[in-house]
């Protein structure tokens, strides 16, 4: 009796609860309820990669013919950033990333736990049988316990942020798709949408004949400009300023100091070339830049050239000293027969007056002899001197004035005559055609009024052909003179005799 009354009361209570539940709590389905896998705790490690995006350089204030310089600088940015493979984070940056990621983890864990509890609360209104309801409830309760444990673990265990992170350029950089730089307020949103950590923004403008380059490096995690700089330079100095921002970008983005090298060579006037750029003579200044292997060439006309590589390491000054091996030297004497005090120039350098004893390494050299000075100066044509032990004896005839009939004048004379020939030739053809027209018209019609104009055009065409022939002969003459002048002006090869 008591059991029957209890069962009836239970059914009535259930009906009331269901009715109020339908009014106060709208029914909604929970996907995967009772069959979903339990949510696992977030992995306590950050993704080991940071992405860099290079915005298109702003050249809107440059003249149209100079805007190509922006592409040159943008490509240099890509080249520099592409060589930076990793970044070493400082402690304050690690804390920024930890707090940001920890906040995301807490929010995600709390959301998952809340959704699971809501699913448990609405399970009663699914209409399951008593056995099915109990089974599903057990599953959800187990899932909630796991999520509660995960939530507690997230609250007490912050993410482990890596100190060293791999750097890579955004995929748009490889495809050449460069977007314009966003506004200051839109940088954070831009980085979130593109999935990037660092943003390079730059502009190039002109000011009083000089270029002004402004560039900055933005970090998305704390919405901060990490580095900004402005360089002023002339257009001719473009190549020389590239290493300047290479160093600053490397140090800012990698988090490590740049390196430096210095080359010392003997003899002191040896030319030192680093990565195909002239860096000085004898001793270079300290050359800073990102760590890399550099190719060095050291040359001197009297010495065998040398080539080697040197590694520029981070936070180190790498030095290299080299002494070139001298070439074989030849002693020769230059003199002008029965004459003295003629100035000698070898490869443009003054080597004394005749007679003169000079020493030269093996090779060919440009020799020029100059007589007198000032208005009476006479320069010889350029001679090719082969270095060899012995005597070079020249006559005074070898020291001759170049005169006014230069090869350039002969060339211009030939082009002028040839141009006149080509103007006269079509005129002669035209007059001949008109003459033939009158003659044919007279032969067909017999009109004697055509005789006088036909005669006039006939003699005119003959005169035109004579003039054309004269211009052709002049062209051939000037061509021959041009060839003669060019051959006569060619350098003579002289060789010392024992």
Residue range 275-302, pLDDT digits in tens: 888 888 989 989 888 888 999 999 988 8
The two structure tokens encoding residue 95: 């804390």
- What's the rounded Cα separation, in Å, for the pair 493 and 266? 32
With bands split at pLDDT 50, 70 and 90, how would you rate the model's confidence at 467?
Answer: very high
217-249 tens-digit pLDDT = 999 988 899 899 999 998 888 877 877 778 888
- What's the rounded Cα separation, in Å, for the pair 497 and 389? 8
More confident residue, 160 or 12: 160
Full DSSP string of 357-400: EEEEESSEEEEEEEES-GGG-EEPPPEEEE--SEEEEE-GGGS-
- pLDDT at residue 70 tops 80: yes
- The Cβ-side half-sphere exposure at 88, using a 13 Å CA radius, reads 7
pLDDT for position 340: 66
Closest by Cα among 76, 77, 59 to 211? 59
Average pLDDT for 436-445: 86
With bands split at pLDDT 50, 70 and 90, how would you rate the model's confidence at 112?
Answer: very high
Q: Could you tell me the pTM of the whole model?
A: 0.54
With bands split at pLDDT 50, 70 and 90, how would you rate the model's confidence at 387?
Answer: confident
Residue with tokens 């804390």: 95
- What's the rounded Cα separation, in Å, for the pair 81 and 222? 21
pLDDT for position 399: 61
Average pLDDT for 347-368: 81
- pLDDT at residue 261 tops 70: yes
Q: What are phi and psi of 230, to 5 degrees?
A: -135, 130
With bands split at pLDDT 50, 70 and 90, how would you rate the model's confidence at 339?
Answer: low
pLDDT for position 5: 36
Q: Percent of the chain beyond pLDDT 90?
A: 26
Q: Are 55 and 203 in contact (CB under 8 A)?
A: no
With bands split at pLDDT 50, 70 and 90, how would you rate the model's confidence at 46?
Answer: low
Q: 262-275 burial by CB neighbour count: b if 16+ within 10 A, else e?
A: bbbbeeeebbbbbe
The DSSP letter of residue 283 is: B
């Amino acid at each position: 009796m008591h059991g029957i009354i209890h069962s009836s009361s239970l059914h009535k209570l259930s009906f009331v609860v269901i009715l109020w539940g339908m009014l106060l709590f709208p029914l909604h389905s929970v996907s995967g309820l009772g069959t979903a896998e339990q949510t696992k705790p977030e992995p306590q490690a950050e993704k080991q990669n940071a992405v860099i995006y290079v915005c298109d350089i702003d050249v809107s204030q440059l003249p149209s013919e100079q805007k190509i310089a922006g592409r040159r600088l943008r490509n240099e940015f890509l080249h520099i950033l592409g060589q930076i493979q990793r970044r070493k984070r400082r402690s304050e940056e690690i804390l920024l990333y930890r707090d940001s990621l920890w906040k995301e983890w807490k929010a995600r864990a709390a959301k998952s736990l809340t959704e699971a509890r809501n699913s448990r609360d609405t399970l009663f209104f699914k209409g399951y049988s008593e056995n099915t309801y109990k089974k599903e409830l057990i599953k959800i309760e187990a899932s909630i316990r796991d999520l509660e444990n995960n939530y507690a673990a997230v609250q007490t265990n912050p993410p482990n942020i890596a100190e060293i992170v791999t750097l890579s350029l955004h995929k748009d950089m490889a495809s050449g798709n460069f977007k314009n730089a966003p506004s200051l307020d839109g940088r954070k949103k831009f980085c979130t949408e593109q999935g990037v950590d660092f943003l390079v923004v730059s502009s190039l403008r002109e000011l009083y004949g000089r270029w002004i380059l402004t560039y900055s490096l933005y970090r998305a995690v704390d919405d901060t400009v990490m580095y900004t700089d402005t360089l002023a330079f002339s257009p001719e100095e473009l190549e020389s300023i590239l290493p300047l921002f290479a160093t600053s970008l490397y140090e800012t983005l990698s988090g490590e100091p740049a390196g430096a090298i210095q080359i010392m060579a003997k003899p002191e006037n040896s030319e030192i070339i680093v990565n195909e750029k002239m860096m000085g003579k004898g001793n270079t200044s300290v050359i800073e830049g990102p760590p890399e292997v550099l190719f060095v060439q050291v040359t001197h006309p009297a010495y065998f050239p040398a080539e080697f590589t040197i590694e520029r390491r981070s936070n180190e000054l790498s030095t290299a000293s080299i002494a070139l091996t001298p070439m074989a030297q030849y002693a020769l004497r230059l003199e002008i027969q029965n004459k003295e005090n003629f100035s000698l120039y070898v490869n443009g350098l003054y080597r004394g007056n005749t007679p003169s004893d000079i020493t030269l390494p093996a090779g060919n050299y440009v020799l020029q002899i100059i007589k007198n000075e000032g208005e009476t100066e006479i320069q010889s044509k350029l001679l090719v001197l082969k270095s060899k032990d012995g005597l070079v004896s020249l006559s005074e005839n070898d020291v001759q004035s170049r005169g006014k009939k230069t090869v350039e004048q002969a060339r211009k004379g030939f082009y002028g005559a040839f141009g006149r020939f080509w103007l006269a030739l079509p005129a002669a053809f035209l007059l001949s055609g008109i003459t033939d027209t009158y003659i044919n018209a007279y032969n067909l019609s017999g009109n004697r009024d055509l005789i006088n104009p036909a005669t006039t055009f006939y003699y005119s065409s003959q005169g035109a052909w004579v003039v054309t022939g004269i211009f052709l002969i002049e062209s051939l003459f000037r061509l021959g003179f041009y060839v003669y002048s060019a051959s006569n002006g060619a350098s003579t090869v002289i060789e010392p005799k024992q």
